[in-house]
């Protein structure tokens, strides 16, 4: 049976790269909303139902909240708050996706991708957002557990980031991007063979 210290150590090792992955995803998403401001305003109007006059403000608030969650996730002292905020954001997106599906609006752009094209809403978007809620919750709980651990358990020397953590974050981002690209592909029609 694992001791409390070893459990906290394992959680600490998992939390750091997962938190960095979520932080990078949130920071990129926040920047994307500002850079692609017109698309983002269209999304908050059509997908979320925000009135046209409030759409610019809503985009800034959402992008700012995503960025805040990303920054909090990067700072171990605030990682619990960052994980909770990230989980709440992705849970809200998940709720909006489920609402759109229930209303029969599968073709509405949810703004869920960094690309231009979007696929109809379905199992992929629901599963992706549910997983992001789960990972964010895991990071928040893991950070909370790690807070009670001795300072050297689950942390790197001097608080610096290990190369393996950077590689893990890059690998997670590559997998996330590849999955987004695969899901954006249009399936062959009429029994066509690839």
The pair of three-digit structure tokens given for residue 12, joined into one six-digit string: 């600490």
* Average pLDDT for the chain: 82
Q: How far apart are the first and last CA of the chain?
A: 51
What is the predicted pLDDT for the residue at 138? 93
Single pTM value for the model: 0.80
- pLDDT classification of 114: cutoffs 50, 70, 90: confident
What is the predicted pLDDT for the residue at 156? 46
Domains of the chain, by residue range, sit at 4-171
HSE on the CB side for 81, CA within 13 Å? 11
Beta carbons within 10 angstroms of residue 135's beta carbon: 20
């Amino acid at each position: 049976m694992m001791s409390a210290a070893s459990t906290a150590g394992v959680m600490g090792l998992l939390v750091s790269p997962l938190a960095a992955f979520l932080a990078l995803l949130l920071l990129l998403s926040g920047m994307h909303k500002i850079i692609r401001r017109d698309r983002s305003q269209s999304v908050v109007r059509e997908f979320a139902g925000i009135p046209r006059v409030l759409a610019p403000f809503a985009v800034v608030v959402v992008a700012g909240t995503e960025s805040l969650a990303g920054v909090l996730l990067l700072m171990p002292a605030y990682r619990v708050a960052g994980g909770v905020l990230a989980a709440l954001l992705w849970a809200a997106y998940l709720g909006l996706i489920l609402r759109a599906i229930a209303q029969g609006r599968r073709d509405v752009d949810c703004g869920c991708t960094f690309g231009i094209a979007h696929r109809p809403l379905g199992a992929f978007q629901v599963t992706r957002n549910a997983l992001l809620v789960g990972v964010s919750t895991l990071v928040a709980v893991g950070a909370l557990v790690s807070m009670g651990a001795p300072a050297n358990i689950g942390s790197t020397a001097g608080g610096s980031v290990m190369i393996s953590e950077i590689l893990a974050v890059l690998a997670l981002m590559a997998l996330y991007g590849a999955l987004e690209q695969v899901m954006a592909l249009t399936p062959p029609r009429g029994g066509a063979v690839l």
